[in-house]
Structure 1
Amino acid sequence: MAPKAGKAKPKAKGDKKKKEEKVLPTVLDVTVEAPDYTHLTLKGISTDRILDVRKLLAVHVDTCHITSFSLSHEVRGPQLKDTVEIASLKPCHLSIVEEEYTEELAVAHVRRLLDVVACTTAFGVKKPEQKPAPATDAAAEANKPGSPGSVVAGGGGGGGGGEEPMYPPPKLGEFYDFFSFSHLSPPIQYIRRSTRPFVDDKREEDFFQIDVRVCNGKPVTIVASRAGFYPSGKRALINHSLVGLLQQTNRGFEAAYKALMKAFVEHNKFGNLPYGFRSNTWVVPPVVADSPSVFPPLPTEDETWGGNGGGLGRDGKHDHRPWVKEFAILAAMPCKTAEERQVRDRKAFLLHSLFVDVGVLKAIAAIQNLIPDDKSSHEKANGTASSVPHTQQIGDMKITVTKDKADASSKSDVKLDGSQAPGVSFDELAKRNLLKGITADESATVHDTATLGVVVVKHCGYTAVVQVPLDAQLTTVVPAQQDIHIEDQPEGGSNALNVNSLRMLLQKSCVQSPGAVQRLQSSDPEENMATTNFVRKIITDSMQNLEGEAPRETRPIRWELGACWVQHLQNQTSEKADGKKSDETKDVPTVKGLGKQFGQLKEIKKKSDDKSGKSASTKDSTSPNTNDAHSDNTASTKEDKEAILQKALTEAAFQRLKESETGLHAKSPDELIEMAYKYYDDTALPKLVADFGSLELSPVDGRTLTDFMHTRGLQMRSLGQVVELSDKLPHIQSLCIHEMVVRAFKHIVRAVIAAVDDINDMAQSVASCLNILLGPFPEENNDGKCGEDHNLRQKWLEVFLMKRFGLAWKDEYSLDLRKYAILRGLCHKVGLELVTKDYDMDTPHAFRKSDIISIVPIYKHVACSSADGRTLLESSKTFLDKGKLEDAVNYGTKALAKLVAVCGPYHRMTAGAYSLLAVVLYHTGDFNQATIYQQKALDINERELGLDHPDTMKSYGDLAVFYYRLQHTELALKYVNRALYLLHLTCGPSHPNTAATYINVAMMEEGLGNVHVALRYLHEALKCNQRLLGVDHIQTAASYHAIAIALSLMEAYSLSVQHEKTTLRILQSKLGSEDLRTQDAAAWLEYFESKALEQQEAARNGTPKPDASIASRGHLRCIRSSRLYQSR
């Protein structure tokens, strides 16, 4: 829905007119003159600024090594500021001007060179691995159909009969291969700070010396100075860049560096250089496995060379910031217009981001201070020994640290929406959240200071709550004209806090000698047995506690549920006003993939349609106006109820609720709770499943599933209901079951971590826990203990899923579990970093002590960005789905501008806006601009979110399609295969996104002339869509059409006709004859029929065959966008 335009104030100097006439962004060529007088042409966007040009130069092979420079323009002059818009530069021609270094900039320059060459050493797995003998058959095991390395769901994935799988089972050990250039000779072996004395007298402009060893070369000492770098004692050879100096003085380095740059261009000539990465993924870079006790940092985070884990607040400057006052000022800032909210939201974003960074850092420090003092033994580790909270006050921040219980049945008492008031009952909390939701506006997050000022951190068996206490007096007396002075985030918001950098290393006992490494890898059998028994006891005790647990009477409510409920009621009202006539003639669209219980939603709609115009529509009690006509609802009782709500709400909130025209203002809180529950069960849950079935939403893992449910106000405890409603959507059922299993196992791992008394025992205990939870089935292993462990975890799953999710466990669920997906989910939720290798989970001891590298903090806080920006994004998505591309581009552009203004151009929250606008522009045919935006999104996602984050995964897939449309097919195939590898690792081959990606792979193989390979992928996609979505789903039609195209390239036109007829039939039934996609299919069918006739004529007359190449000119709209429509 498009947002309503706010009441704009009169603007001086024609500002308003300018905004209305704003031109949409276009691709812009930026010419940059390098210091060596060569000219580079960069592809930018007309809305880019100088900061964006600097980022483009950083990912260009000719300039990625340059760091200390400014940009000048012949008209605007030298040292252009980062905020200057490049569209204002006429001509768009810039020059790089080398600037002098400070010591800090010189250190950053060294770090950049180390970063650029790191891909030659950091990401490659050494071939002669030091592993015990039994592991030599790991490769053979990974190729077995049922091996855990295959990550196939239920063995139903690829190909038929004795064929090889459609896609080779992904190996976790190959995770970093996409970024590895280890086949090349490293240009640099090492760079170290030199301890040698200066050969010449050290001058004032000299900063420090470094010892550099290049490939096949002797160490050379280089001096870093204000003007650049020079070999010790040879000042005359000074060069502004370290790369320039080494190229000038060492031919071996020059050759190796050129080879690396050439490889970068071959990898992707448009950018996306493999450097700047951070250790932010659950599997660590392979270089870490060589020195796990040290955890060699990637250059970006190497503190030796000025790097860090990102974020702000490490310097302690903000420890005593007046948080209470500033959060109160935020809540009082003007916010009536979109312009006012943008100013306020920028302040809120900066302040809240700083608060979260400082809060997390201080919480981790407080926890780490407690870890050595925890003397409790395994026998006493039930949470009682250290149940007394540790409290610390730092300025306005109050930090409360408690020891977690070593009981997997215990529920977390700490929630973001209730942590400020621990004495509040569940009933009161549900009521408070619902009232917040039904009265929410664009300022709901900022005005809820109690929740905004809370961060919850879990780490190493402790939970820390950081909060800024409310000051009731201050919130009422703070004058709105006060302002908050806060610095902007550097580099456009990039390099946000990487919480993995605050890891607790678990391999501290590993010393340097090879013997110690060998001992570490082959765990002591007695120690292994002791920790295994320890874990079994925790599971057994927790299960007894869980079985005796009384059910919670009150259902919790998320505030988002109230907001979605109000929107649903308003949509109902507008539909009744607008669509009475159209409802009479329009058939209700049937969406395949809905379970039998979805009938509830259809019945609600039917009842309201049948009884429209009559007051008898009281059956749908989620609509509050239905009881207004009853005689017992007198004016006095209505006024009483309004008075109760007025007391519970602020005047502005109550007025908003009244003006929403939903009638909710006339209900008592108890009535509202009851109606909200009914809306939840009868409408919200079935609507979620309907959107899953239509692929409006397409989750690929537990994280995306959780996000989709939480944004609609749905609780994860409803996963059992979602499974029942999704009985025609096996991929959704599989995702839900996997998420429930992950959550069940998460509690066990957390309990084990909390129970360990000595941090040196942590790695072994976690490894034993993972071996029990992810161990083999009894029939896969003859070990008697395997059967006991299997029965134990099976019993735990049965009890936990019934108690927490109301789902009865079935034996067939075990057969469909993808162990790598569960392992990945566990590592995300618990905070584990593992060695990157193939784990053979068909054996009872797949995980060793040496595999568990570290524990990283898990933290939660509310998201604070721009509600207006998110609304614009949703509007853009809606217009895209409706095919209104001009409106989609317009709203997508506005959304991006809003999020850039609030969050910064390179913050992780902005990446989603780049990605959506790229998809929208792709559908308009502007592939160049779409590619530029998607490359930006991918660069941000890889560095800020993680290398296997769902958004990163999606960027790979979408970017591949864009490259294909630009006719860079081999490059496209490289990126789509990366997307496919990650999809197989997370959601497996039986998923609509995987099937859609198969179609895209087929298009690319087809473009390379491999039609037979393409057909295999297309048939696999068709089988997958038929199995998951139904034989008459739009995505199934997409598969039929893609096969028809491929067959036409093989000149099998009669078969093309058959497949296209099926496509047309499905689209006519689903979309109607007027839809553009249906019309496309009709045109294609006519084309294939004409070609079939030509072919028959040619066969009869002996004339040359018709030209088949025309068939590759384009695909059906629903094919072309098959991967892209699943962007939610």
Structure 2
Amino acid sequence: MAPRNSRGKAKGEKKKKDEKVLPVVTDITVNLPDETRTVLKGISTDRIMDVRRLLSVNTETCYITNFSLSHEVRGPWLKDTVDVSALKPCVLTLTEEDYDEKLAVAHVRRLLDIVACTTWFGPSASTQDNAKSDSGKNAPGALDKTGKKVTTKSQATTAKQSSSSSSKEVLMEAEGEMSHSCPKLGSFYEFFSLSNLTPPFQFIRKATKRQIEDISENDHLFSLDVKLCNGKLVQVEACRKGFYNVGKQRILCHNLVDLLRQLSRTFDNAYDDLMKAFSERNKFGNLPCGFRANTWLIPPFAAQSPSVFPPLPVEDEMWGGNGGGLGREGKNDLMPWASEFLFLASMPCKTAEERQVRDRKAFLLHSFFVDVAIFRAIKALQHVRVNPDLLCSVGSCDILYTERLGDLSITITKDASNASSKVDTKIDGIQATGVGKKDILQRNLLKGITADENTAAHDIATLGIVNVRYCGYVAVVKVERREEKNDSPQSQGIELEQPEGGANALNINSLRLLLRRTSSSECSKPAAHLQTSECEELCVSQAFVEQMLEESLARLEQEELEQDHFVRWELGACWIQHLKDQKNTEKDKKLPNGKSKKLSLEKEMKVEGLGTPLRSLKSNKKKVDESNMKMQSKHSRSSIDGVIGEVEDATSASMESQHETTSKKNELALQRLLSDTAFTRLKESDTGLHCKSLQELIDMSQKYYIEVALPKLVADFGSLELSPVDGRTLTDFMHTRGLRMRSLGHVVKLSEKLSHVQSLCIHEMIVRAFKHILQAVIAAVADHEKMAVSLAAALNLMLGVLEGRDSDKSCHVHPLVWRWLEVFLKKRYEWDLSSSSLKDVRKIAILRGLCHKVGIELVPRDFDMGSPHPFRKSDVISLIPVHKQAACSSADGRQLLESSKTALDKGKLEDAVTYGTKALAKLVAVCGPYHRMTAGAYSLLAVVLYHTGDFNQATIYQQKALDINERELGLDHPDTMKSYGDLAVFYYRLQHTELALKYVKRALYLLHLTCGPSHPNTAATYINVAMMEEGLGNVHVALRYLHKALKCNQRLLGPDHIQTAASYHAIAIALSLMEAYPLSVQHEQTTLQILRAKLGPDDLRTQVSYQIQISSEFTFPFCVGAFESLTPL
């Protein structure tokens, strides 16, 4: 942060000195109550809150919940905000504290959470485990059940056979992972499962409160029944000092684990086995606990009871858990939202420090409002659903219900039951704002071209809107201002809190509506009868969906292709930035002579995306003066020529005068529409846009959109500066540049040489098209009992394989679905669907996208996408709300992140670390250390530190990011997937190759699930898998992965792309390890040719490749370093 201007020089020097201090890995010693100690690996910027987090993921202390931390100098009860760096020495003492009922319940919940991985996530990777255990029994030095070494004559032979079979298994596994087959959804949760272990206990239940003589009424909290793994039932009493067992041997312990360990040797052994498995799974942390049901595939344990959906311990209300978020109790529904948002817009924001204070207030207020708005919207929607008086036949946009709650206005409308209808759910659209289409277009464009660090926080109208789509209805929750005479907004001084540092934010999936209600009569029916009944239901529902599609198709075909000129405000911001960058680039060009300067001036006048060259607006007068001088020098011409010259001069002067008059009018018109500061900012941008009329600005912005923004997006896709892996990341990349998803057809046409980009765009268009069908089905089905079967029938119609009909043209797609999709994509995206487009469609990716966009939860089952009916009624479990809200964080923090990325790309590692550290500090201060928005800053800084060689610190940051992403974003979110891949490379560099391989294969599984095998990110991950397989001695397996990556990069990016060079280089290393030196040199020569052409001879990677190529033999450590310099994370 920059020092305050009002401070003296000494303060500025001190600030500058402090900025040079970068975080380092710190050992944090914690003395435990049992007189042992544990050493935690932290960062020097950590606080006591972070130490608590580290203790919760440490196998020695994860079961301890209610404690305080003290320091020999700072004293007892250290606050969460105390910096670890201020504690000298960094030695803390953990002191157990007394419980109240809430804390004691939370302690039980933690123990249930720790053990959940043994039962909740289905079978673990049992085949591999069994193979390892079988080979381990006969391995040299193995132990028998008594603990003695087993010795046999055939140990060497057995070991050789075991090694051979293990090698074959690795090869077979590699073939499966590299194949184009769909990933198995049934094994989605295997990565987190430890079902091969015996759970330490069978259940923990609350019992009727017992009367215990030794415990006073005031100290007694509640009673428990615990059934251990050996079947023994233990009665436990929770009291303020801890947990107390009932029986002959009465023991008081502060925590349940210690108590049960003393009572049962079986429990002790089972718990030790579990902790050992945690350590073997990942010795650095990332424990398989603390999860929430936040993914479109529900946990296997919940799938066993779909009508009840037993919650994971973290969300179990019986044990004090919930789905997260604020405002659940409804206490703050009547909060003065309007005045608080108004005060927010009036807060000082000139300096970075002021903006940080303002952004923190904005973030907390907006997060609180969004949570309250969603809860109130769901409550209102449930009221509408159960009220038959409101469910009469209404039009798709008629208002069913309105509610006013203080400053909150809630409006409920029915969703469209016609799949061709477009319901406006934009938070800045006509429906939400009540503003006309033309006014919205103008407002967004002006907002964009005058945007700065304060734009998002000052747009309180957009911040105060949340849109919720749920169960066939659309709810708009809006903050409405009351007209008040007092012009100066005042805050009510409400203290906004952020428990757990931003962790446990609202899990929208926890607000699910279960679709399965198993009746007693249904349970009594035989399985054959139920199957027949379900088939009949599916047939009836499919006929219903087909009829709905026919009506929609008829309406679509009558619809005229119209140009919808909606503008996202981000487009204006990117446009201004583009013009500034272009001008700065031209200024940097130093040309020697006057002729070159003239050419430079002409180039400056040609600004892409503008109707009139900008520089010409300022140089017309100069041109007129030059023409006058020329005419004076030719005074010897005839009088007729002189008259003509005077006429031309007068005409030019008149045009100049008219131009100036028009510019003045345009300026005045814009000044009336903009605030003084916004207009001044636009004028000082030196782009000339302040002289343009609104219509000119609209036309020029559209030209920039088509001629610059879209081609630039595709160019960034080609260079891999942007690499979307699914519809969500593709949408994010386009929206942040102000590009609309309706341009997907145009992007496909521009991406002719990027087949993976075309594939992603086509998949996203299909998902967005099919989304309308499912939303229409949900809106049209009145009977709740028929919702699941109707959705299953619709999914079968869209994703099943057609049988018994002519399906050559439609690639085994139902003719009606094919025709509807063909017309829809033409009308909405101006894209002509062909059968070749559907040949390589990944149906699992389509299914995943649909579940995200529509809000559907499914059982984790291996769906047979090659059958006519891959989905059953029982596969569809629930509907969840889908909401839209404005993004609110820190513009300064995001800018620092971009600066860090740019510095990293340019190889300026010191700058990258500095910017990354500042960005993280900014986002932690605004969003909290464990909020989902902060995870991206942890992840980026980890990558930057990795490139500096600080693998330990990089690993700690990336583990923080992964823990947040898994629990806050979802188990298959693109950020979660990236964290797995990055963390694997970090583990590899720390020489934990087996652990690295486990995590990189999880990343590969998710890549196959999202973007499939034909994607640059998948190819890069193949290279990383190969690197780790080679580290384990499986060179032949590594070579297979490398050849797969090479073919993929050649096909997708071309034979001369930098990533293709990385593949050649990696193969060269593998061949050298196999002592195939001539082939190795040949591949390295190809690498060198590509690098010289793309990067130049002076680039470090080119020089490394040259050094390797000229050497007669490779040295493995040197090659690995070079390898990683070419392999992106």
**Pair in the same fold by TM > 0.5:** yes
Unaligned runs of 5+ in 2: 127-169, 621-651
Q: 1:788 to 1:475 in 2, by over 3 A?
A: farther
Q: 2:864 is matched with which residue?
A: 840
1:927–1:421 CA distance, 2 compared to 1 (3 A): closer
Per the TM alignment, residue 419 of structure 1 is displaced from its structure 2 partner at its CA by 5.0
Q: In the alignment, what sits opposite 2:7?
A: 10
Could you tell me how far apart the structure 2 residues matched to 1:11 and 1:120 are?
A: 61
User: Which position in structure 1 is the counterpart of 2:543?
Assistant: 533
Give the Å deviation of 1:1035. 0.3
The separation in 1 between residues aligned to 2:225 and 2:1051, in whole angstroms, is: 61
Aligned partner of 2:967 among 937, 943, 947: 943
The 5 Å alignment of 1:429-448 reads 429-448=440-459
The RMSD of aligned alpha carbons is 2.7
Q: Does 1:680 align with 2:705?
A: yes
- Report the Cα distance in structure 2 between the residues aligned to 1:784 and 1:1040, rounded to whole angstroms: 40
The superposition leaves residues 277-305 of structure 1 with CA deviations (integer Å, 9 ceiling, x where unpaired) of 00000000000111101100000000000
- Match in the other structure for 2:339: 325
Aligned to 2:271: 257
Of the structure 1 ranges 263-272 and 212-221, higher mean CA displacement relative to structure 2 is found in 212-221
Larger gyration radius, structure 1 or structure 2: 2
Deviation, structure 1 residue 846 = 1.1
Q: Which whole-Å CA distance do the structure 2 matches of 1:651 and 1:1115 have between them?
A: 58
CA distance in 2, matches of 1:505, 1:875: 46
Shift of 1:1123: 3.5
- Pick from 200, 204, 211 the counterpart of residue 198 of structure 1: 211
Give the drift of 1:472.
6.5
Q: Secondary structure at the match of 2:70?
A: strand
**Is 1:166 the counterpart of 2:178 in the alignment?**
yes
Deviates more, 1:27-36 or 1:354-363: 27-36
Q: 1:649 aligns to what? A: 674
In structure 2, do the counterparts of structure 1 residues 246 and 1063 end up closer, same or farther at CA, with 3 Å as the change threshold?
A: same
Structure 1 residues 211-610: aligned runs within 5 Å? 211-233=225-247, 236-373=250-387, 384=395, 387-419=398-430, 422-471=433-482, 476-478=487-489, 482=491, 484-511=493-520, 514-515=523-524, 518=527, 523-581=533-591
1:1112 aligns with 2:1123: no
For 1:310, what is the secondary structure of its paired residue?
coil
Shift of 1:671: 0.5
Correspondence for 1:762 among 781, 784, 787: 787
Q: Give the conservation status (yes or no) of the 8 Å contact 1:907–1:940.
A: yes
- Aligned residue among 614, 629, 634 for 1:624: 614
Change (3 A) 1:872 1:400: same
CA distance in 2, matches of 1:53, 1:702: 37
Task: Report the residue type matching 1:758 in the other structure.
Answer: D
Aligned-partner Cα distance in 1 for 2:570–2:819: 35
In the TM superposition, what is the alpha-carbon distance from 1:870 to its structure 2 partner?
Answer: 0.2
Query: Structure 1-normalised TM-score?
Result: 0.89
* Distance 1:1118-1:687 versus aligned 2 partners, 3 A rule: farther
> Which sits farther off after the overlay, 737-746 or 1068-1077?
1068-1077
After TM superposition, list the pairs within 5 Å mapping 1:807-846 onto structure 2: 807-846=831-870
The residue type equivalent to 1:252 in the other structure is T
Q: CA separation of 1:300/1:520 partners in 2, compared to 1, >3 Å: closer, same or farther?
A: farther
Letter in 2 for 1:847: F
Contact kept? 2:425, 2:431, Cα under 8 Å: no
2:1091 alignment partner in structure 1: 1067
Give the letter aligned to residue 894 of structure 2.
R
Amino acid in structure 1 at the alignment position of 2:662: T
Q: CA shift at 1:618, angstroms?
A: 6.9
Kindly indicate whether the alpha-carbon contact (under 8 Å) linking 2:609 and 2:700 is maintained by their aligned counterparts in 1: no
- Give the CA deviation at 1:21: 2.5
2:1046 and 2:883 map into 1 onto residues whose CA distance is 41
Quote the residue 2:765 is aligned against. 740
Q: Distance in 2 between matches of 1:573 and 1:448?
A: 29
**Residue type of the partner of 1:25?**
P
Q: 1:785 to 1:635 in 2, by over 3 A?
A: closer
The CA deviation string for residues 89-140 of structure 1, in whole angstroms up to 9 with x for no partner, is: 1101111100110110000000000000000000014999xxxxxxxxxxxx
Question: 1:386 offset after TM fit, Å?
Answer: 8.5
- Residue 97 of structure 2 is matched in structure 1 by 99
CA distance, structure 2, for counterparts of residue 471 and residue 945 of structure 1: 36
Distance 1:1048 1:716, change over 3 A: same
Residues 1:44 and 2:55 are matched in the alignment = no
TM-score for the superposition, normalised by structure 2: 0.89
The equivalent of 1:1097 in structure 2 is none
Q: For residue 555 of structure 2, what is the amino acid of its counterpart?
A: N
Find 1:994's aligned residue among 1009, 1013, 1018: 1018
- Counterpart contact for 2:28–2:42, Cα < 8 Å: yes
In the alignment, the residues of structure 1 paired with residue 1091 and residue 1036 of structure 2 have an alpha-carbon distance, to the nearest angstrom, of 26
Could you say if the C-alpha distance between residues 474 and 962 of structure 1 is closer, same or farther in structure 2, counting changes exceeding 3 Å?
Answer: farther
Aligned to 1:911: 935
**Quick one: distance in 1 between partners of 2:298 and 2:112?**
19
CA shift, 1:15, in A, is: 7.2
Tell me the alpha carbon deviations over residues 361-390 of structure 1, each in whole angstroms, 9 at most, x when there is no partner: 00011111111235899xx97x53883331
CA contact (8 A) 1:420 1:451 kept: no
- The answer (yes or no) to whether the contact 1:996–1:1123 under 8 Å persists in 2 is yes
SS in 1 for 2:234: strand
Other-structure match for 1:131: none
Flag the 1:59–1:1003 CA change in 2: closer, same or farther, 3 A. same
- Residue of 901, 908, 917 corresponding to 1:877: 901
Matched, 1:1012 2:1036: yes
**Match in the other structure for 2:980:** 956
**In the alignment, residue 73 of structure 2 is paired with which amino acid?**
V
Structure 1: where are the runs of 5+ without partners? 129-157, 585-606, 1092-1107
In structure 2, what is the equivalent of residue 148 of structure 1?
Answer: none
Task: Name the CA distance, whole Å, in 2 between partners of 1:390 and 1:343.
Answer: 38
**What SS is found at the alignment partner of 1:97?**
strand
Residues of 2 paired with 1:305 and 1:297: CA distance? 11
> Equivalent residues in 2 for 1:78-227 (5 A)?
78-125=76-123, 166-167=178-179, 169-195=182-208, 197-200=210-213, 203-227=217-241
Alpha-carbon offset, residue 470 of structure 1? 3.8
Q: How many Å separate the matches in 2 of 1:742 and 1:401?
A: 26
Per the alignment, do residues 1070 and 746 of structure 1 end up closer, same or farther by CA in structure 2, a change over 3 Å counting? same
User: Could you list the per-position Cα deviations for residues 285-341 of structure 1 after superposition, in whole angstroms to 9, with x for gaps in the alignment?
Assistant: 000111101100000000000000000000112110000000000000000000000
Shift of 1:843: 1.4
Alpha-carbon separation, structure 2, partners of 1:385 and 1:295: 32
Q: Give the whole-Å Cα distance in 1 for the aligned partners of 2:591 and 2:955.
A: 43
Quote how far apart the aligned CAs of 1:527 are: 1.9
Mapped partners of 2:485, 2:857: distance in 1: 44
Task: Note the alpha carbon deviations across 1:582-608, whole angstroms, 9 max, x for none.
Answer: 999xxxxxxxxxxxxxxxxxxxxxx99
8 Å CA contact retained: 1:159, 1:1020: no
In 2, distance between residues paired with 1:421 and 1:749?
Answer: 23
Deviation of residue 1119 (structure 1)? 3.7
Distance 1:847 1:783, change over 3 A: farther
Q: Distance in 2 between matches of 1:346 and 1:574?
A: 33
Structure 1 residue 1085 displacement after superposition:
1.2
| 1:775/1:786 contact within 8 Å kept | no
Report the Cα offset of residue 1020 of structure 1. Answer: 0.4
Cα distance change on mapping 1:629 and 1:15 into 2, 3 Å: closer
